Amino acid sequence: MTASITLLPGQVTLAQWRDVYRGATPRLDPSCLPGVAASAAAVERIVAKGDPVYGINTGFGKLASVRIPAEDLETLQRNIVLSHCAGMGEASPVPVVRLMMALKLASLAQGASGIRPATLALLEAMLAKGIIPVVPSQGSVGASGDLAPLSHMTAVMIGVGEADTPTGRKNAVEALASVGLAPVVLGPKEGLALLNGTQFSTANALAGLFEAERLYQSALLTGALSTDAAKGTDAPFDRRIHTLRKHKGQIAAADALRELLAGSAIRASHREGDERVQDPYCLRCQPQVMGACLDVLNHAASLLETEANGVSDNPLIFPGQNGAPDDSLSGGNFHAEPVAFAADMIAMAICEIGSLSERRIAMLVDPALSGLPAFLTPKPGLNSGFMIPQVTAAALVSENKQRAFPASVDSIPTSANQEDHVSMAAHGARRLAPMAANAMAVIAIEWLCAAQGCDFHAPLTTSAPLQQVAALLRAQVPHLSDDRHMQPDMAAAIAMVESGALVAAVKSVNLPSIA
């Protein structure tokens, strides 16, 4: 039984969006329904009045000047959905599509989109019953809304396309029927309201943010363990250093690293007589780099929380008050530039977290830098140890560097130059999950190397929290005495990083999280 959470449109927290992404079932706070009904009634009045209003009784985009007769309005809404189902590529991950649906649900429920309560109820019921449209991952430029992805979502609501269900993938009609639902006939404005908006880009960006948060916390743990493995000093984590610079993220990262290393017998063994004056930057500058990453992630989180609570379709409906006429206003809230900027920030942070981790791996396998056996093997030469896992980490980091180029600086005109500047937010956000997966693999390799390095210091032990980190790994991956098939070891470590098991292993230290 999955958890259920209630969304109050316009006031949903990042924690609630995270819960939806992790599997919770969203339900609307019923207090929003009168506003939804009022917006739908306003559309009915606009249609009855007969004046041309974009998206209600006209064509779309460059065809906005084409007037559509009243008898064709249902066909108009169906046609826009079908014609815009032009996505390409692999199906988007189910957790991302669920989050996209929930974002669209909360946006429409703010009473500015002209959606009817029954249509909104179908979208809510699909989420509750696990009917998740198959949404191709490519095809949006992040302006005029995420048209193609949201059209594939909407198509299932009208009985077209495919959906994943609790009993497998089915065509739309069968999928809906399998849980007692039926397709809807879209009324005026409804098709456009459903497919116009930034929810695909925002869902992917939020998913990337949530994965980056887990990556960030994991990297603090492996970074601290690497520091002990290399007999690094914890002096650079002294709070006095970081309070002078005043960056909040830097202070939080230093506090966590200092707390993680407190009580380490390895550290205590070289407090006196250590000939090294300063450690390499990959150890010494962890608070500065990781702190900057945390600050950037928090800024991106603020942008995305605002976007997730906004209304981004077009036109927007403003029901008349106290006898005033209803208004339908065309604007540009569908332009996803804020999401594109947030996604670029997250991409840079993911890239830097992985890059710093790879440098610690390289340091650990180099005896001239770490003081440990070459490539962390007791018999270097006969054994290669962790030589090639470091190469793998380098390859993954290089791939992430290429992917981190800002998407938001690109634009290409569409729709016969009517839509002449676009954000590329969908592309920018969609790359985040594979970037995070690459970086998590790098962190997992560092975990293997750092635990191996600490093993060489026995009987000295690391701190209590870091012993928990090492013990979790050793429960599945034994110490590497002689070369063996490395991929299973790496796969086991990666799985624990991705699942959050690594972070969950340390409960005594308050790791920084996304605000």
pLDDT, tens only, 30-50:
999 999 999 999 999 999 988
pLDDT the model gives residue 273: 64
Q: Residue 131 region, left (φ>0) first, then alpha (ψ -120 to 50), else beta?
A: beta
pLDDT band at 1 (very low <50, low <70, confident <90, very high): low
Whole-number Cα distances in Å, 360 to 208, 284, 371, 398: 24, 11, 13, 15
The catalytic residue among 21, 54, 216, 281 is 54
With a cut of 70, say whether residue 213 has pLDDT above it: yes
With a cut of 80, say whether residue 63 has pLDDT above it: no
Over residues 19-40, the mean pLDDT reads 97
Question: For residue 85, is it within any domain?
Answer: yes
pLDDT the model gives residue 283: 98
CA angle 215, 88, 79 (to 5 degrees): 125
pLDDT, tens only, 412-446:
888 777 777 888 999 999 999 999 999 999 999 99
Over residues 456-482, the mean pLDDT reads 98
pLDDT, tens only, 249-285:
999 999 999 999 999 999 999 887 665 668 999 999 9
With a cut of 80, say whether residue 477 has pLDDT above it: yes
Residues 153 and 254 in one domain: no
Whole-number Cα distances in Å, 90 to 123, 137, 149, 210, 431: 23, 6, 12, 22, 13
Provide, rounded to the nearest whole percent, the portion of the chain with pLDDT above 90.
Answer: 87
Q: Tell me if 261 sits within 8 A of 234, measured CB to CB.
A: yes
Q: Residue 255 is inside which H or E element, if any?
A: helix 248-261
pLDDT band at 61 (very low <50, low <70, confident <90, very high): confident
Last residue of a domain, one of 197, 231, 251: 197
Over residues 384-401, the mean pLDDT reads 98
Question: For residue 110, is it within any domain?
Answer: yes
CA distance 276 to 296: 32
Question: Is pLDDT larger for residue 27 or for residue 70?
Answer: 27
Residues 259 and 286 in one domain: yes
Other Cβ atoms less than 10 A from the Cβ of 65: the count is 9
CA distance 495 to 502: 9
Question: For residue 109, is it within any domain?
Answer: yes
Residues 177 and 213 in one domain: no
Whole-number Cα distances in Å, 448 to 84, 269, 352: 47, 23, 20
Residues 342 and 454 in one domain: yes
Domain holding 78, by residue range, is 4-197
As for how many domains the chain has, the answer is 2
Residues 158 and 285 in one domain: no
Mean confidence (pLDDT) of the chain: 95
Question: For residue 377, is it within any domain?
Answer: yes
With a cut of 70, say whether residue 59 has pLDDT above it: yes
Question: For residue 265, is it within any domain?
Answer: yes
Residues 184 and 291 in one domain: no
**What dihedral do alpha carbons 149, 9, 27, 93 form, nearest 10°?**
30
Question: For residue 57, is it within any domain?
Answer: yes
What's CA 322's distance to the chain center, in Å? 43
Residues 350 and 306 in one domain: yes
Backbone phi and psi for residue 58, each to the nearest 5 degrees, phi listed first: -130, 170
Least confident of 186-200, 243-257, 312-326, 470-484: 312-326
Polymer length of the chain: 515
Closest CA to 222 of 507, 481, 465: 465
pLDDT the model gives residue 422: 87
Residues 166 and 228 in one domain: no
Last residue of a domain, one of 162, 180, 197: 197
**Domain containing 294 — which CATH number?**
1.20.200.10
Residues in CB range of 129: below 8 A, 6 or more apart: 166, 179, 180, 181
CA angle 71, 162, 335 (to 5 degrees): 65
Residues 152 and 273 in one domain: no
Whole-number Cα distances in Å, 405 to 111, 207, 343: 38, 19, 11
Q: Tell me if 215 sits within 8 A of 350, measured CB to CB.
A: yes
With a cut of 60, say whether residue 389 has pLDDT above it: yes
Question: For residue 104, is it within any domain?
Answer: yes
Over residues 117-140, the mean pLDDT reads 97
3-state helix, strand, coil in the chain (%, to 5): 55, 5, 35
Whether 21 is a known active-site residue: answer: no
Residues 384 and 276 in one domain: yes
Question: For residue 509, is it within any domain?
Answer: no
Residues 221 and 152 in one domain: no
Provide the whole-model pTM: 0.96
CA distance 221 to 219: 5
**Domain containing 130 — which CATH number?**
1.10.275.10
Over residues 287-292, the mean pLDDT reads 98
Last residue of a domain, one of 138, 163, 197: 197
pLDDT the model gives residue 497: 98
Residues 293 and 245 in one domain: yes
With a cut of 70, say whether residue 115 has pLDDT above it: yes
